[in-house]
A and B are shown apart, each in its own frame.
Chain A
């Protein structure tokens, strides 16, 4: 048996901001390919839609692509072309990308990813946000961009104590922006990034001018209660509200299991550390719309996601 994954070497204690590069050993990539090729597959789902989860055809095409066509070194280069750093905050190494705009008056912005994402979600916005004049915007729209990896995600350290909730992460982001010398800044996030960004707003730290979220995780009390207990929709909803209700109702009835499991038994998911295909399926099964999009990608129709 191999040992447990331990704190990475780059996680030496320091409050300094240290440059960081991604350099995955060849042996790790070989090992990954070996595992993908040796996948032991379940039988096909017994339905013709995603109602039993990630479909076999999608997962097998993903595995084929992963083992034969995908080149980790390409995204590694992309990441290493960006200024990346590590800094220890509250006992934990935080990895972040920090791209300063060529425009001196740019507004500092910290953008936080979610689950099942990483800084890879944000790579395509680095250009438009930091260099707007090259992307159809005005110099007055420029940002100095900070993209951290959440604790326990990607190249950030894994907490070894409990308590790293969105409030603590929000405090950490405030320290990060201070440490970078930003006295006035804004924050943005979706998914868990939204939870952290909301908490930053609630902390009202000096220098935070405003936030933007693309996943309002708050529901009216009567809606939240009806969803939680599987009750019918409240009467008098507008057409737009009814549409949102339908999506939420579906999600509560059919889409919350991953969150229940990770919310209650994250340790039990040993398989997603041991099985790359198990991990891939677990990460693809987030929400109906993104799954449909990703399934189309692996069926040969790349869109925004590739």
Chain B
């Protein structure tokens, strides 16, 4: 490779936490910063397993983790945001051609002038964060134990295009319910991992990291944390992982709660279509299948191709992450264009999540989950999946891509133990309505304590 291209190699190892730095120093006989070490690497190398993981072969150690983003990375991001080359404006006055120019320009203006990554970095660093290697991949997680000793351990998984940023506002209500209108009996010890390839977790370099393998890693994580009785929750990719945990039923898993009925896609022809609600859900699902799966198909079949765009253009990344579903798009667009955020979907929080993807270079590695998911589906074609062997709770949020009626949820989860429909919130329910979402989690798991 030509040394002429002073390209920026992008890896998560820039975010070496204090423990990792110590480890590096021990190996290198120096206290030089990780950043300095990276600078010595040849240009145009590609990201591999994080250095600290490679050096810290197969260990069950849980190391404390601290985010320390290099200022040079933030400066470089600013430089890119100041030099954006824009396309012409869309020809429609809605989202039917994608993320609107006015929305993305407002977001970029905010990102370049008013936004401060150091704020969310401090928020995350104020939480107990750790790193542990499982099945060859470093898993980053937030672990907040409740002040209430009898709290129920809960592992909660974010989705795409999210990260642990989605879940930050649920930490208070779930771990410290008495401070958020709940009772001590509703307390959880909370574990919030970053999916492999996402955020501060390592990016798998080998194949096979589908939902089932992630589910196994989560069971291992909970065991490693010493939790012998626990529950699991997730939406989006997190729903797929949590569903897989329910089917694997590892020892100690008492029950699951999900807030996206991803399994509906496998039963489209048999889902009830009698009531107005069922018909509306079918319409929403059909709309998604017809016009909303471009990002899904691209990531499922060509994660590397879109990856170049997502690593090299911050506004390209922002647009790709905003273009998820109609309800959340208009809510997010409203936050930037009209200055009217919906619940927790604030300008700052939206850009926190995008910046997290940017700084950790997660565009391609996160998209790869969809590819792995597709491979897993192909492998499983024609085979019956094992049933979920633990009690299942489900909450339907009205703005979800297809708000699932109870009858649909019962098709996917015949032994439904808890179901509720609430009056607000959408696909990013925990992010948008953290208090309401937390109340649902409390209610869903109350009988399992």
Contact = CB atoms under 8 A, between A and B. Distances in A.
Nearest to A261: B294
B293 interface: yes
Interface in A27-60: 36-47, 52-56, 59-60
B44 A41 contact: yes
A266 B95 CA distance: 11
Interface string A149-192: 00000000011111000000000000000000000000000000
Given A281-B308, A281-B309, A162 B91 contact: yes
- Kindly state the interface size class of chain A when it binds its partner: 35 or more
Interface of A: 1-6, 36-47, 52-56, 59-60, 63-64, 67-68, 158-162, 253-258, 260-275, 277-282, 284-285
A269 B309 contact: yes
Interface string B145-175: 0000000000000000000000000000000
Contact of B205 (A40, A46, A266): A46
Contacts of B309: 269, 271-272, 275, 278-279, 281-282
A260 to B, nearest CB: 4
Contacts of A59: 308
A271 B46 contact: no
Interface residues of B, number: 76
B312 interface: yes
Nearest to B113: A1
B44 A271 contact: no
B312 A39 contact: yes
A39 to B, nearest CB: 5
B47 A42 contact: yes
B40 interface: no
29 contacts: A1-B81, A1-B84, A1-B108, A4-B88, A40-B10, A40-B311, A41-B9, A43-B47, A43-B364, A45-B304, A52-B304, A52-B371, A53-B305, A68-B2, A68-B4, A159-B91, A160-B91, A162-B91, A254-B301, A257-B300, A266-B90, A267-B90, A267-B97, A267-B99, A270-B86, A270-B316, A275-B313, A281-B309, A284-B305
Given A159-B91, A257-B300, A278-B312, A4 B86 contact: yes
B105 interface: yes
B448 interface: no
Contacts of B46: 41-44, 56
B308 A260 contact: no
B116 interface: no
A173 B340 CA distance: 47
Contacts of A253: 301
B48 A43 contact: yes
Contact of B292 (A2, A40, A264): A264
